[in-house]
A and B are shown apart, each in its own frame.
Chain A
Amino acid sequence: MLTLLKLLQSLFQTLHSEGTPRQVAAGLVLGAGIGLTPLLSAHNLVLFAALVLLNVSFGGGMLGLALFTPLGFLLDPLFDRVGLALLEAPALRGLWTAGYNVPLLPFTNFNNSVTLGSFVVWLVLALPLYFAGQRAIARYRVTYGERVLNSKFMKALKASKLYNIYAWFVPQ
Chain B
Amino acid sequence: MSRALKIFRWRAVGPLLLFLAILGLLWILFADRIARAETESTLSEMLGTEVDIASLRIREADAAVDLGGLAIADPRDPRRNLLEAGTITVDLDPIPLTEKKIVIDQLTLSGLRFLTTRATPARPADPNSPAGRLLRETEAWAREKFQFPRLALGRIDTVKSLVLQPEQLGSVKAAKAFAGTVDSTRAAFEQSVAELQVKAVVDSSTALAERLAKSDPKKLGIAGVREAASDVQKAIERVKEARSRLASLEQTTRTSLGALQRGLADVEAARQKDYDFAKGLLELPSFDAPKIGAALFGAPSTDYFQQALYYAKIVQRYVPPGLQPWNRPGPKRTRLAGTTVEFPRMEEYPRFLLRQARLDFATSGAGQNQFEANLAGITSQPALLGQPATLLASGRLGGDRPVSVTLSGLSRHFGKSPTDSLVARVSGVTLPAIQIPGLGFTVTPGRSTVGLAFALSGERLAGAWEVSSDAAAWNADSARLRAASLVESTVWRVVSGLSQLRVRAELGGTVDAPTLRVSSNLDDAIAGRLQGLAGEALAGAEQKARAAVDGIVDPQITSLRGKVSGLSSQVADRLPVERGQLDRAQKALEAQLRRLVGSGLGGIQLPKL
Residue of B whose beta carbon sits closest to that of A77: B336
Let me know if B180 is at the binding interface, CB within 8 A. no
CB <8 Å contact, B343 and A100:
yes
A171→B335 CA distance, assembly (Å): 32
CB <8 Å contact, B336 and A114:
yes
- Chain B residues contacting A17 (CB-CB under 8 Å) are none
- Chain A residues contacting B9 (CB-CB under 8 Å) are 52-55, 169, 171-172
CB <8 Å contact, B338 and A113:
yes
User: What's the least CB distance linking B230 to chain A, in Å?
Assistant: 61
CB <8 Å contact, A97 and B345:
yes
Residue of A whose beta carbon sits closest to that of B9: A55
- Chain A residues contacting B348 (CB-CB under 8 Å) are 101
CB <8 Å contact, A52 and B341:
no
Query: Contact partner of A52 among B6, B15, B101, B343, CB < 8 A?
Result: B15
Please list the 5 inter-chain residue pairs (A to B) with the smallest Cβ-Cβ separation, ordered nearest first: A114-B338, A76-B336, A106-B100, A103-B98, A100-B343
Let me know if B214 is at the binding interface, CB within 8 A. no
User: What's the least CB distance linking B14 to chain A, in Å?
Assistant: 8
- Known A-B contacts A77-B336, A101-B348; the reply to A53 vs B13 at CB < 8 A is yes
A150→B334 CA distance, assembly (Å): 40
Cβ proximity bits A82-120 to B, threshold 8 Å, 1 near / 0 not = 011001100001001111111110110101111101000
User: Which secondary structure dominates chain A's binding surface?
Assistant: helix
CB <8 Å contact, A112 and B338:
yes
User: Which one of B131-139, B148-156, B325-333, B414-422 is at the A interface?
Assistant: B325-333
Q: Which of B551-582 contact A (CB under 8 A)?
A: none
Let me know if B342 is at the binding interface, CB within 8 A. yes
CB <8 Å contact, B325 and A93:
yes
CB <8 Å contact, A54 and B340:
no
Cβ proximity bits B321-360 to A, threshold 8 Å, 1 near / 0 not = 0000100001101111111111111001100000000000
- Known A-B contacts A53-B8, A168-B15; the reply to A111 vs B342 at CB < 8 A is yes
CB <8 Å contact, A107 and B100:
yes
User: What's the least CB distance linking B148 to chain A, in Å?
Assistant: 46
User: What's the least CB distance linking A169 to chain B, in Å?
Assistant: 6
CB <8 Å contact, B12 and A53:
yes
Residue of A whose beta carbon sits closest to that of B95: A103
Chain B residues packing against A (C-beta within 8 Å) = 6-9, 11-13, 15-16, 19, 98-101, 325, 330-331, 333-345, 348-349
- Chain B residues contacting A97 (CB-CB under 8 Å) are 325, 343-345
- Chain B residues contacting A99 (CB-CB under 8 Å) are 343
Not counting A84-B339, A106-B100, a sample of 17 additional A-B residue pairs whose C-beta atoms are within 8 angstroms of each other reads A38-B333, A80-B336, A80-B338, A83-B338, A84-B341, A88-B341, A96-B325, A97-B325, A99-B343, A100-B345, A101-B349, A104-B98, A104-B99, A107-B100, A111-B340, A112-B338, A114-B337
- Chain B residues contacting A39 (CB-CB under 8 Å) are 335
Query: Contact partner of A93 among B6, B11, B334, B343, CB < 8 A?
Result: B343
CB <8 Å contact, A55 and B338:
no
Let me know if A72 is at the binding interface, CB within 8 A. yes
CB <8 Å contact, B12 and A115:
no
A77→B342 CA distance, assembly (Å): 20
- Chain A residues contacting B336 (CB-CB under 8 Å) are 76-77, 79-80, 114
A56→B501 CA distance, assembly (Å): 83
- Chain B residues contacting A111 (CB-CB under 8 Å) are 340-343
Let me know if A136 is at the binding interface, CB within 8 A. no
A115→B98 CA distance, assembly (Å): 19
Let me know if A132 is at the binding interface, CB within 8 A. no
- Chain B residues contacting A100 (CB-CB under 8 Å) are 99, 342-345
Let me know if A40 is at the binding interface, CB within 8 A. yes
CB <8 Å contact, A113 and B330:
yes
Query: Contact partner of A168 among B12, B342, B343, CB < 8 A?
Result: B12
